[in-house]
Amino acid sequence: MSELTRSKRTKRDDILAGFKRVALCHQPTALEQMPRLTEALGGPRLWIKRDDCTGLATGGNKTRKLEFLMADAMSVGADIVVTQGAVQSNHVRQTAAAACKLGLDCYALLERRVPDRGQAYEQTGNVLFDHMFNTQIEFRPPGLDMNAEAKAVTERLRQEGRKPYFIPGGGSNEIGALGYVSTAQELLQQCDALQLSPKLVVLSTGSAGTHAGMIAGFHAMGCTIPILGISVRQPEQVQIENVYNLAVKTAAQLTDKPLSRDKVIVDDGYVGEGYGIPTETMVAATRMLARNEGILLDPVYSGKGMAGLIGQIQSGQITNVGDVIFLHTGGSVSLFAYEEQFITKDKAG
């Protein structure tokens, strides 16, 4: 990892000045109202931050992280990036696309993390795009330490004479999380322009980088808006620890102010049977947003995140007290790998 410039600033217009970055995103992404969904739920006024529209290879949140990660890779002379994810990884798809854009190769390990998905699951959606971007792919069985596996590949490539750069799963380290410090800054600038004072931001939380970056960004700018993470994989306390540890490392690059653990809020009630395994609430939430706002979610991350937002409104945990923003992290490409969850259920009812 190369040395990063650490400019400890707190103004909204210069918080990331001095950090290496390459332009990969369409930004700012839109902040839109969701009037029909708001009416359907009868709760607070809902907004959506459209990070599904970041542009690269159909967009998504990982492109924000890759602006910083790929800049670091380029600065150390890398000629290939190595990363890992589940079979239908949005992160791998966006990493491979970024590598193509910057003239690098990409090597990806795909974990067969989700059981009983069938052959199409490994041939369509994100996997199809991985092949389009000429990614060198190896599949791995479930349950391995995938970052360790990818680091081993990185070392092997180095011994073969390549100049590899390792990117952790989800792009989630203190470099990648800067992408969501950038989003935090951008979102607050949009709220200022709209004279909007949101009471809550809701997002999906998985590999922790997006959640941690948002928390670190708000913290560095003195913003006290709470951020609710809907877990898509880990139990609440495990995810709180993961997010907090990364948020502390990320914030330390921006400010000397200590970060309180109570800034990390996680709801693990929408994971279901596990990562990538569909739930009825995910299917219902994904369909509800599509049919009310014409916006597509994904079955693994944003679909479960929206299920959490809807569930908390319906249960009264989120009350009708003001504006609530949902951060859409993208990933609708993976809908093609879960078609039976939506087409079959539609035919049945």
How confident is the model over 245-298, as pLDDT tens digits? Answer: 999 999 999 999 999 999 999 999 999 999 999 999 999 999 999 999 999 999
Instruction: Report how far residue 148's alpha carbon sits from residue 154's, in angstroms, rounded to the nearest whole number.
Output: 10
Residues paired with residue 109 on neighbouring β-strands, in sequence order? 84, 138
Vertex 90: Cα angle to 85 and 95 (nearest 5)? 80
> Is the Cβ–Cβ distance between 150 and 178 less than 8 Å?
no
- DSSP letter assigned to residue 33: E
Given the structure tokens 């800049």, which residue do they identify? 71
Q: What is the pLDDT of residue 119?
A: 82
Q: What is the pLDDT of residue 10?
A: 44
Question: Per-residue pLDDT tens for 40-69?
Answer: 999 999 999 999 999 999 999 999 999 999
CB 203 within 8 A of CB 227: yes
Round to whole Å and give the CA distance between 234 and 77: 35
Residues contacting residue 280 through CB under 8 Å, at least 6 positions apart: none
Q: Are β-strands 80-86 and 265-267 bridged in parallel, bridged antiparallel, or unpaired?
A: unpaired
Q: Fold for domain 31-60+174-348?
A: Rossmann fold (3.40.50)
Q: How far is CA 180 from the centre of its chain?
A: 9
pLDDT of residue 9: 38
**How far apart, in whole angstroms, are the C-alpha atoms of residue 259 and residue 227?**
14
State how far the Cα of 330 lies from the Cα of 306, in Å rounded to an integer: 12
pLDDT of residue 5: 33
Question: Beta strands 105-111 and 136-140: pairing type?
Answer: parallel
Output the pTM of the full model.
0.94
**Pairing verdict, β 31-33 and 45-50:** antiparallel
- Marked catalytic residue, from 7, 89, 332, 334: 89
Residues of the chain whose pLDDT is less than 70? Answer: 1-13, 344-349
Alpha-carbon distance of 164 to 77, in angstroms, equals 9
Give catalytic status of residue 2 as yes or no: no
Q: Please give the pLDDT value at position 118.
A: 82
312: which DSSP letter?
H
The side-by-side arrangement of strands in the sheet containing 265-267 is 31-33, 45-50, 323-328, 200-205, 227-231, 265-267
Question: CA–CA separation, 14 vs 92, rounded Å?
Answer: 30
Q: What residue ranges of the chain are covered by domains with CATH 3.40.50.1100?
A: 31-60+174-348, 62-171
- Secondary structure (H, E, C), 111-153: ECCCCCCCHHHHCCCHHHHHHHCCCEEEEECCCCCHHHHHHHH
CA angle 83–94–211, rounded 5-degree value? 80
Provide the CATH topology of domain 62-171. Rossmann fold (3.40.50)
d(CA 158, CA 4): 23
Q: How much is the pLDDT for 323?
A: 98
What pLDDT shows up at residue 124? 95
